[in-house]
């Protein structure tokens, strides 16, 4: 094997060798073939996707001595070979990060007025152009707006938002895309075959996924994986090197969360910890898996049977909530004193917001959803929107609006179910039929939530009603009553504090004020 790293050894020298940027290549090739060239090009995009590489190939095509107006450089003439080697006098490559001063820019522009001696164009490639100072950009503007016919500027940047609009408006902007994982995997596989290294598809997929759209990162990781695996890429070794783990362990945690089994979730988490995982990567993996499960639930893709099986264990609302919970933990990852706490906090919140309470933790539950009550009526607006008919027990015929508000002061509903029904108003309860007023903007309760509500009514008020929802704005809802109670308690606390002698002293001598948030 050559001592040269893969990213340099296999850097594309032709447009046809560029991976994942067909839209950019087509623009440049058509510009050359039609002789419709711009005097300034700016290539933008994330690291390692081919900005500088494409600019160099473009420069070779412009000054190629053999193939005039040919989209591909010959790579055999002196101009092509000199540009490839970085010693062509008419191709000046500048690192803006190390030459940010206005004096450097003025020196560069002073030489730009002279025509090239042995090439068609004098080409300036300014890498990381966003690093130039404000004065350097100002010095560049006039030449960039009205350059000589023989002068072409090529600029590359990873932070296009830092380039002044005055510069952007004078250039042709070419935004490079993040390279898809499958394209990266195919490219890595091709190079490994050329280098005669043993590999398997799973290890290559892990590297392509970890590269996050960057070809250069993928090849750098491949070099490291080759060294780590002593010349071969094996899934277990690559996973250990990247700090990732087998999806089966993640699926075990997800399954136990969906089943609401705290003990089993704890055991599966402990199995994860044995791999000395990178917790930020694990959180990202959970987010990706929940996304795939949601896609499978909506029948929008995912051919993996494991996702389809997990999607059947919960309602779509709960699945979306889980994805949001893990996203929030990742967003606040750096706040936690121990990275492990970020993962555990997400798992704890997932179990806390479980839509149904588990009556018997030892009973195996293959589906969270209760047996579906029969739906009889669906009306779009104004009256009954949905009717749920369990077996009606008319032994207790008393249930009032006060009882409806009192229900939410009891520990009878899970947090997510309680949060939804706090915005529903009470209309009437008669002959075993409970009618609730549902605001148009309120969240639609799931069948599991409705079943949980009926269980709470049965346990606390000895009624087993049929439930109807009317799409009408209620005058008062339990959330209003809760706010009034909180406000009354806050006023009582404020009055008690006002009578305190120490507080009175602070108010009199230091203009102190009492502020109590009742929310």
For the stretch 389-408, pLDDT in tens is: 443 343 456 888 888 988 88
Whether 114 has a pLDDT exceeding 60, the answer reads yes
Is residue 218 within 8 A of residue 207, CB to CB? The reply is: yes
Task: Give 15's DSSP letter.
Answer: G
Asked whether residue 452 carries a pLDDT value surpassing 60, the answer given is yes
Least confident of 3-7, 137-141, 333-337: 3-7
Asked if 166 and 40 touch (Cβ cutoff 8 Å), the reply is no
Helix axes 215-228, 235-242, angle to 10 degrees: 110
Q: How far, in Å, CA of 9 to CA of 2, rounded?
A: 8
pLDDT greater than 80 at residue 291: yes
The pLDDT, as a whole number, for residue 245 is 72
Q: Domain boundaries in the chain?
A: 6-175, 181-242, 247-352, 374-476
With b meaning 16 or more CB within 10 Å and e meaning fewer, what string describes 234-249?
Answer: bbeebbebbebbeeeb
3 burial via Cβ count (<10 Å: 0-12, 13-18, 19+) = exposed
Q: For residue 517, is pLDDT > 70? A: no
Least confident of 58-67, 156-165, 362-371, 489-498: 362-371
Q: What's the confidence (pLDDT) of residue 112?
A: 82
| Per-residue confidence (pLDDT) for residue 387, from 0 to 100 | 44
Instruction: For the chain, report the end-to-end CA distance as a whole number of angstroms.
Output: 68
Write the Ramachandran bin of 69: left for phi over 0, alpha for psi from -120 to 50, otherwise beta: left
Q: Lowest-confidence range among 92-106, 285-299, 494-508? A: 494-508
Architecture of the domain whose range is 6-175: 3-Layer(aba) Sandwich (3.40)
Give residue for tokens 């529903």. 424
Say how many CA atoms lie within 13 Å of 455 toward its Cβ.
17
- Report whether pLDDT(170) > 60: yes
> Spelled out in words, what is the top-level CATH class assigned to the domain 181-242?
mainly alpha
Query: How sure is the predictor about 195, in pLDDT bands with cuts at 50, 70 and 90?
Result: confident
Fold of the domain spanning 247-352: Zinc Finger, Delta Prime; domain 3 (1.20.272)
Q: Which pLDDT band, with edges at 50, 70 and 90, does 412 fall under? A: confident
CATH 3.30.300 fits 374-476, yes or no: yes
Label residues 143-176 b or e (16+ Cβ within 10 Å = b). bbeebeebbbbbbbbbebeebeeebbebbeebeb
What per-residue confidence (pLDDT) applies to 368?
Answer: 43
pLDDT of 488 above 90: no
Mean pLDDT, rounded, of the chain: 82
Neighbours of 93 (CB within 10 A): 17
CA distance 52 to 494: 66
pLDDT digits (tens, 9 = 90+) for 83-99: 998 888 889 898 888 87
298-307 average pLDDT score: 75
Task: Say what the pLDDT of residue 241 is.
Answer: 75
């Amino acid at each position: 094997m050559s001592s040269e790293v893969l990213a340099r050894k296999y850097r594309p020298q032709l447009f046809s060798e560029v991976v994942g940027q067909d839209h950019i290549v087509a623009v440049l090739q058509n510009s050359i073939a039609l002789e419709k060239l711009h005097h300034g090009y700016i290539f933008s995009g994330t690291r390692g996707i081919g900005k500088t590489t494409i600019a160099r190939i473009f420069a070779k095509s412009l000054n190629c001595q053999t193939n005039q107006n040919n989209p591909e450089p010959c790579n055999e003439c002196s101009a092509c070979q000199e540009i490839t080697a970085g010693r062509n006098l008419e191709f000046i490559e500048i690192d803006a990060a190390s030459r940010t001063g206005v004096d450097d820019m003025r020196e560069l522009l002073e030489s730009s007025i002279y025509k090239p001696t042995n090439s068609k164009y004098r080409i300036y490639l300014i890498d990381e152009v966003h690093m130039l100072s404000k004065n350097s950009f100002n010095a560049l503007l006039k030449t960039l707006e009205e350059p000589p016919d023989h002068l072409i500027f090529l600029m590359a940047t990873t932070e296009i938002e830092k380039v002044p609009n005055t510069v952007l408006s004078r250039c042709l902007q070419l935004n490079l895309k993040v390279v898809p994982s499958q394209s990266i995997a195919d490219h890595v596989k091709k190079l490994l075959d050329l280098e005669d290294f043993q590999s398997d598809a799973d290890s290559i997929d892990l590297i392509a996924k970890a590269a996050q759209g960057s070809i250069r990162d993928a090849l750098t990781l491949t070099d490291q994986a080759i060294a780590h695996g002593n010349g071969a890429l094996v899934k277990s070794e690559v996973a250990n090197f990247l700090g990732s783990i087998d999806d089966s362990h993640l699926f075990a945690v997800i399954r136990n969360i969906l089943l609401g089994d705290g003990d089993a979730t704890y055991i599966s988490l402990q199995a994860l910890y044995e791999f000395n995982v990178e917790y930020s990567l694990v959180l990202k993996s959970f987010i990706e898996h929940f996304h795939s499960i949601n896609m499978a639930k909506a029948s929008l893709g995912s051919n993996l049977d494991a996702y389809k099986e997990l999607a059947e264990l919960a309602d779509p609302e709960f699945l979306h909530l889980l994805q949001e919970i893990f996203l929030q933990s990742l967003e606040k990852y750096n706040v936690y004193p121990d990275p492990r706490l970020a993962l555990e906090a997400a798992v704890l919140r997932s179990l806390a917001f479980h839509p149904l309470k588990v009556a018997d933790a030892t009973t195996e539950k293959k589906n969270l959803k209760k047996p579906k009550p029969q739906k009889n009526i669906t009306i779009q607006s104004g009256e009954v929107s949905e009717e749920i008919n369990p077996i009606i027990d008319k032994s207790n015929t008393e249930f009032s609006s006060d009882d409806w508000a009192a229900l939410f002061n009891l520990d009878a509903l899970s947090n997510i179910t309680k949060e939804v029904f706090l915005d529903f108003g009470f209309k009437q309860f008669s002959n075993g039929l409970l009618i609730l007023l549902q605001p148009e903007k309120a969240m639609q309760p799931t069948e599991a939530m409705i079943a949980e509500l009926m269980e709470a009514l049965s346990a606390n008020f000895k009624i087993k009603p049929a439930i109807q929802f009317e799409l009408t704005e209620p005058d008062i809802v339990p959330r209003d009553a809760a706010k009034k109670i909180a406000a009354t308690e806050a006023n009582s606390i404020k009055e008690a504090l006002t009578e305190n002698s120490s507080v009175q002293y602070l108010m009199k001598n230091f203009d102190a004020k009492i502020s109590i948030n009742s929310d």
